[in-house]
Amino acid sequence: MLSTPKHGWSNITIGSWSDRCSYLDDVPFMLLDALQDALSGKTPIAIEFDAEGYGYTIVFSLGVIHIVTETEDGYKLASEEIFCKELAKELIADIRKDINGWTTWQDFHETTEEQQETRKQLLLKQCADIERNLTSKGAELR
């Protein structure tokens, strides 16, 4: 779902859709929060990303993810039939694989080693929390 972060850029891929994301957004936490809420079975969850020059909104709902992208002519809609449970597993694996890159993702200002360690632990804790919830009643359907 997430490519390796490099120089403040990464790519988000959902099914056959893919686009860039920038350090202007706290991408890993935004995606973890959205998927955690979507897996809870509440209403669809929407999050906006600034791709520096244009933006897009990802809407997480049961069995389908919608992406609305700004274009010169208006908006473009892409819909991907994918369950949030599978997307969450993919996201967690990608964050863990590149944990050091996601820890320093927004390091455009100076941070201490202690602040970086705190961020790393928060990312890993949220990944573990979502994994535990994936096996809870109701999450099996998503």
Write the pLDDT tens digit of every residue in 33-75.
999 999 887 689 999 999 999 999 999 987 899 999 999 999 9
Helices and strands (DSSP H and E) totals, the chain = 4, 6
Over residues 19-30, the mean pLDDT reads 96
Q: Is 110 helix (H, G, I), strand (E, B) or coil?
A: coil
Over residues 80-96, the mean pLDDT reads 96
Indicate the average pLDDT of the chain: 91
The two three-digit tokens of residue 2, written as one number? 């997430």
pTM of the model: 0.91
Residue 108: the pLDDT is 64
Main-chain dihedrals φ then ψ at residue 20, nearest 5 degrees: -80, 160
Main-chain dihedrals φ then ψ at residue 120, nearest 5 degrees: -60, -45
Residue 63: the pLDDT is 86
